[in-house]
Amino acid sequence: MKTLTALSLASLIGLGLGLGAGLAHARDVHPDEAQRLRDAGTIQPFEQLNATALARHPGSTISDTELEEKYGKYLYQVDLRDPQGLEWDLELDAVSGQVLKDHQDT
């Protein structure tokens, strides 16, 4: 009986840890919600966020963008390709426009 109780307890703890880890994942913001956030002034216009990202790597082109909510913050992710063909991943705070991450994609 002790073995069964220990296994059940271990399963519950594992389930709890799994659920907790799942809560930390980012949530993709649907385009309709993103539009409402922009129109309400909650986040900056996407054109402005894109311009901020492009200013970090002049001559680059945007290959992908994504708006996420993570830990209660709106994050705008931008993938760039520079004139030399290098790829860059940028993450901006969608509310302030501050660049949070800027690194070369490997």
R_g of the chain computed on alpha carbons? 20
Structure tokens at 106: 């490997």
pLDDT at position 6, please? 39
What percent of the chain is modeled with pLDDT above 90? 74
Helix (H) or strand (E) holding 28: strand 27-28
- pTM confidence score: 0.75
- Cα-based distances in Å from 94 to 7, 43, 74, 82, 100: 45, 5, 5, 22, 10
Which CATH architecture best describes the domain 26-104? Roll (3.10)
Q: Inform me whether the pLDDT recorded for 39 exceeds 70.
A: yes
pLDDT of residue 18: 43
**Residue 43: its pLDDT value, please?**
98
Locate the domains of the chain by residue range.
26-104
Task: Provide the pLDDT for residue 8.
Answer: 39
For 68-92, what is each residue's pLDDT tens digit?
Answer: 999 999 999 999 999 999 999 999 9
The separation between CA 74 and the C-alpha centre of its own chain, rounded to angstroms, equals: 8
CB 67 within 8 A of CB 56: no
pLDDT (0 to 100) of residue 25: 77
- Residue 24 banded pLDDT, cuts 50, 70, 90: low
Which residue bears the tokens 């002049």? 58
